[in-house]
């Protein structure tokens, strides 16, 4: 059972088009940090990384 190369490329192109950066929200910066890594960051926002 071989998959046609054109189908694979077409699916890849469609996935890239859907993940376009033009559709991304560029007004907010999303930072991923640990919520239990005191004194760096914590869920209450008391760590020094939360203040940067």
Work out the burial of residue 50: count CB atoms within 10 Å of its CB; fewer than 13 is exposed, 13-18 middle, 19 or more buried.
Answer: middle
Question: Mean pLDDT over residues 3-25, rounded?
Answer: 68
Query: What is the predicted pLDDT for the residue at 1?
Result: 46
Question: Mean pLDDT over residues 36-45, rounded?
Answer: 73
Lookup result for tokens 């189908």: 7
Residue 13: which H helix or E strand, with range?
Answer: helix 5-18
Q: Are 7 and 1 in contact (CB under 8 A)?
A: no
Residue 51: which H helix or E strand, with range?
Answer: helix 48-51
- What distance in Å separates the CA atoms of residue 51 and residue 17, rounded to the nearest whole number? 36
């Amino acid at each position: 059972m071989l998959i046609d190369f054109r189908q694979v490329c077409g699916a890849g192109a469609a996935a890239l088009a859907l993940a376009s950066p033009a559709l991304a929200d560029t007004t907010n910066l999303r930072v991923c940090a640990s919520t239990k890594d005191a004194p760096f960051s914590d869920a209450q926002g008391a760590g020094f990384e939360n203040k940067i």
